[in-house]
Amino acid sequence: MAIAQTLTPTSSTVENEGREIPRAMRAAVYRGVDDVRLEEVPVPEIGPGEILVRVHTCGICGTDLKKIASGSHSAPRIFGHETSGVVAKIGEGAGKFNVGERVVMFHHIPCGECYYCRHKTFAQCSTYKKVGCTAGFDASGGGFAEYVRVMDWIVEKGTVRIPDGISFEQACFVEPVNTCIKGIETLRLQAGETVLVIGQGPIGLILATLAKRAGARVITSDLHPARLTIANSFGLNHTIDASKTDAGKAVREMTEGRGADAVILAVGGNGLIRPAMDATRPGGRVLLFAQTVHGESTIDPAAVCVDEKALLGSYSASVEVQEESVRFVMNREMDLERLISHRFPLASGVEALNLAAHPQPDSMKIVIQPGGSGEGQRL
Ligand SMILES: [Zn+2]
Ligand SMILES: [Zn+2]
174-187 and 322-330 are packed helices; what angle lies between their axes, rounded to 10 degrees? 120
Number of CB atoms found within 10 A of residue 237's CB:
11
Predicted local confidence at residue 18, as pLDDT: 62
Please give the average per-residue pLDDT across 150-154, as a whole number. 96
Given pLDDT bands bounded at 50, 70 and 90, which one contains residue 373?
Answer: low
| pLDDT-above-70 percentage for the chain | 93
Give the ligand whose atoms come closest to the C-alpha of residue 66: 1
Q: Mean pLDDT check: name the lowest of 29-43, 141-155, 167-181, 359-373.
A: 359-373
Ligand whose nearest atom lies closest to the CA of 316: 1
Portion of the chain with pLDDT greater than 90, in percent: 86
Other C-beta atoms closer than 10 Å to the C-beta of 102 total: 20
Write out the DSSP string of 208-223: HHHHHHTT-EEEEEES
The Å distance, Cα 182 to ligand 2 centre, comes to: 18
In this predicted model, what pLDDT tens digit does every residue of 221-267 receive, in sequence order? 999 999 999 999 999 999 999 999 999 999 999 999 999 999 999 99
Predicted confidence band of residue 11 (pLDDT cuts 50, 70, 90) = very low
Please report the pLDDT score of residue 12 as a whole number. Answer: 38
| 8 A C-beta contact, residue 114 and residue 125 | yes
Nearest to 351 by CA among 375, 368, 363: 368
- Other CB atoms within a 10 A radius of the CB of residue 306 amount to 10
CA distances from 176 to 20, 31, 204, 311 (A): 32, 25, 11, 22
Q: Measured in angstroms, how far is the CA atom of residue 177 from the centroid of ligand 1?
A: 9
Contact 264, 242 (CB under 8 A): no
Distance, CA 10 to ligand 1 centroid (Å)?
35
**Of residues 17, 7, 15, the one with CA closest to residue 49:** 7
Ligand 2 centroid from CA 122, angstroms = 6
In the reported structure, the alpha carbon of residue 82 is separated from the centroid of ligand 1 by a whole-number distance in angstroms of 6
Residue 375 in this model has a pLDDT that exceeds 50: no
Q: Sort strands 194-198 and 260-265 into parallel, antiparallel or unpaired.
A: parallel
CB 84 within 8 A of CB 57: yes
Q: What is the pLDDT of residue 124?
A: 87
Tell me the CA–centroid distance for residue 190 and ligand 1, in Å. Answer: 27
Mean pLDDT of all residues in the chain? 92
Burial 207-217 (b: 16+ CB within 10 A, else e): bbbbbbebebb
Query: How many angstroms is it from 190 CA to the middle of ligand 2?
Result: 31
HSE-CB of 89 using CA atoms within 13 angstroms: 32
Model pLDDT, residue 14: 44
pLDDT of residue 116: 93
Furthest-apart CA atoms within the chain: distance in Å: 72
Ligand nearest to the CA of 120: 2
Cα(305) to centroid(ligand 1), Å: 34
What are the C-alpha distances in Å from 187 to residues 180, 211, 257, 284? 11, 9, 21, 10
Q: Which ligand does the CA of 202 lie closest to?
A: 1
DSSP 323-336: HHHHHHHHTTSS-G
pTM: 0.90
Query: Of 16-20, 25-29, 295-299, where does the model show the most confidence?
Result: 25-29
